[in-house]
Amino acid sequence: MGKKEKTSFQLKTPKGTKDWEGTDMVIRDRIFSTITEVFKRHGAVTIDTPVFELKEILAGKYGEDSKLIYDLADQGGELCSLRYDLTVPFARWLAMNSSIKHIKRYHIAKVYRRDQPAMTKGRMREFYQCDFDIAGEHDPMLPDAEILRITSEIFESLGWQGKYTIKINHRKILDGIFEVCGVPTEKLRTISSAVDKLDKSPWEEVRREMTEEKGLDPTVADKIGTYVNFKGGRDLLSRLSSDGTLSANPSAKKGLGDMMLLFDYLDAFGVLDKISLDMSLARGLDYYTGVIYEVVTEGSAPASTGNTEGQKLQRTTKKEKSASADVDEDRSADPTVGVGSVAAGGRYDELVGMFSGKGQIPCVGISFGVDRIFSITKARMEKENTKAVRSNEVDVFVMAFGGKGFTGLLKERMEVAKQLWDAGIKTEFSWKVKPKLPQQFKAAEAGGVPFAVILGEDELAEGKVKLKQMGLSEDNPEKEGVMVSRDELVAEVRKRLKNLTDGLDEAAQMVAELKVQEKEDVPGEAPAIPTVS
């Protein structure tokens, strides 16, 4: 028999994907748990749908972004595609379950887009979305207001105190602006898609795309330009409402009325100071019908926005890009690429009806991009020199010591660990039969374990153990630990864990209050969109 040839291949993950491990997993899991807790607080139930859908289900729902859908190979069965988001599968599920007329639903799962990746900025081809949607007939703008309240709660719970802005607009206002400016009906969506690029491209570049690539009359484009650069709050709403040409348009009038009502509700929910009415926000997806929004923070926009060199880079035509750029190339180091929005959504009242044909189920929702939130969170931790994240959540390390003839007290350590596990306390111990005390302390310190339970033969004979809080200062009276009865160990550990948690929460609150006092909002002034430093 001849020699078996070795197969040569490169061990790597596909472009736009990554393995998750260690502290990155800890940070991401905390983001998941924080988001889920807020979702449940607002009465949501969860569902799950297949990772791939029939190709015809996804077709025609995403406008120009449809080219980013991953189609699966035809193997003699149904033509399928990997899901692009969680919204269209939810609408399909509602259409198939016609008995459900009202639901608050959340869904946390991976989605897939063949976009050009920028890995360190959370722009990936496989990534998690956390969706929250409200479906059913309700009085106007109430579900929309609660969605935005949920958005604020999540980012506050993540510790982003004030370091984000919720940009908001209304599709009907935009359509009204396009109509009064003279945009042909068949070009409404494609021009809307161009306007949506104003967060990362200068107006000159967007105008060029509308006129040269999409055939819009330059005079019409200039009229659009007088509107889409407006940003503000209630003052901007009043200004638009007093525009006779715009308010005479039925679509714009309906949208402005919705927004005035929504702003009243957001004021009641305490969210209005996080909101910026941004007329350039368009959301390129075809299925939105009403209010649209996205959340931005520092790092969302490309670092080169506003820079002459950056604008030169962004003016490269699509033909030039396709000829020179590798769509698989990681653009993490590209200054013209930012993280993008960290959450986005809006109202989509007609999507379910596209599937069922038996009437509409109005829906509104938002999707949180976990990988983008992660990239911002990690960058902030590094910038602020945040203490290293623990790779596990162990609260107690059980260890033992002794002199000559020390047996290791393995079974005794196992019994104490069992006692703590039975009480629901996260516990570890060394898997060596006769471990050395310094090695046990080193293992506890490496894991950031806050407490050690130390066993000694003499103490065990008296039914006692030593409970030590790790990291205390030399002058602390409990530096060497305190003796605790085995019968009282669980209660004492729980009490000290609670005291430790309460102390951390109090310190965090003090820091948050200090940050809030650093910059007070100017009355009547709209919140500024964070810029990249």
Mapping DSSP onto H, E and C, the string for 504-522 reads HHHHHHHHHHHHHHHCCCC
Q: What angle do CA 61, 350, 85 make, to 5 degrees?
A: 40
Q: Is 314 annotated to bind ligand?
A: no
Between the alpha carbon of residue 73 and those of residues 66, 77, 111, 179, the distances in Å are 17, 10, 18, 42
Q: Is 289 annotated to bind ligand?
A: no
Which has the closest alpha carbon to 60: 39, 41, 81, 90?
A: 81
Q: Is 440 annotated to bind ligand?
A: no
Which has the closest alpha carbon to 150: 340, 376, 365, 370?
A: 365
Q: What is the rounded CA–CA span in Å between residue 88 and residue 107?
A: 12
DSSP string, 242-261: T-HHHHTSHHHHHHHHHHHH
Q: Is 380 annotated to bind ligand?
A: no
Q: Is 129 annotated to bind ligand?
A: yes
Q: Based on the number of CB atoms within 10 Å of its own CB, is 112 exposed (0-12), middle (13-18) or buried (19 or more)?
A: buried
Q: What is the rounded CA–CA span in Å between residue 443 and residue 439?
A: 6
Count CB neighbours of 410 within 10 A.
16
Q: Is 128 annotated to bind ligand?
A: no
Q: What is the rounded CA–CA span in Å between residue 405 and residue 262?
A: 75
Using an 8 Å Cβ cutoff, are 140 and 263 in contact?
no
Largest CA distance in the chain: 94
Using an 8 Å Cβ cutoff, are 292 and 178 in contact?
no
Q: Is 267 annotated to bind ligand?
A: no
Alpha helix stretches (DSSP H) within 158-271: 171-181, 188-195, 203-208, 218-228, 234-241, 244-247, 250-268
Known binding-site residues for L-histidine equal: 85-87, 113, 129, 133, 283, 287-288
Known binding-site residues equal: 85-87, 113, 129, 133, 283, 287-288
